[in-house]
Amino acid sequence: MFKHGDKWTAGQQLEHIYLGVKPLVLAFSLPKLFPRVLFGKANRPSKNYEGLVQKYQGVLAKGAKASGQFSPKAVAVNQKAEITKQVSGAVRKLTAKLDRFSEVDLDALLLPHPLLGKLTLREMLYFTVYHVQHHHEITKRNLSERRTQ
């Protein structure tokens, strides 16, 4: 429940991760035609992991923040187990869907990201991996602040 300044609690960080992964499960479940029709086809190569991280860090440095459906509400301590189960289930479902996509699909199909614009499926997966690590580090840093107070 500790909140460092205006930062989210550890529970809210976890809820935010779930809110980010949940729509990807749906997106990777849809027929491949849907993203192509809705968002077009990539006209550039996918960024590598480091390039995607750099792009995300750049928008964060300009003050971008989560909003709308990606902003977590208050999370009680007794919700930890349920949210953890939801995150694990969503990640398991997402990884199970990946076999449907070829390497070409991952670089050709696009999905919208609220801060980064259209990303290839590969970039969206890179983002998701980094995003979890990013919020894990924020949580560790915030909790270490608590110990020093």
Residue pLDDT, tens place only, 99-149: 999 999 999 999 999 999 999 999 999 999 999 999 999 888 888 876 665
Check if the beta carbon of residue 1 is closer than 8 Å to that of residue 79: no
**Domain that residue 50 falls in:** 10-148
For the record, the structure tokens of 18 come out as 């779930």
Residue 103 belongs to a domain: yes
Give SS3 for 110. strand
Between CA 39 and CA 117 the distance in angstroms is: 11
Predicted confidence (pLDDT) per residue in 37-53, tens digit = 999 999 999 999 999 99
For the record, the structure tokens of 115 come out as 């801060």
Residue 3 belongs to a domain: no
Q: Count structural domains, the chain.
A: 1
Question: How many alpha carbons fall within 13 Å on the CB side of residue 32?
Answer: 15
Kindly report the pTM of this predicted structure.
0.91
Dihedral sign for Cα atoms in the order 9, 86, 120, 67? negative
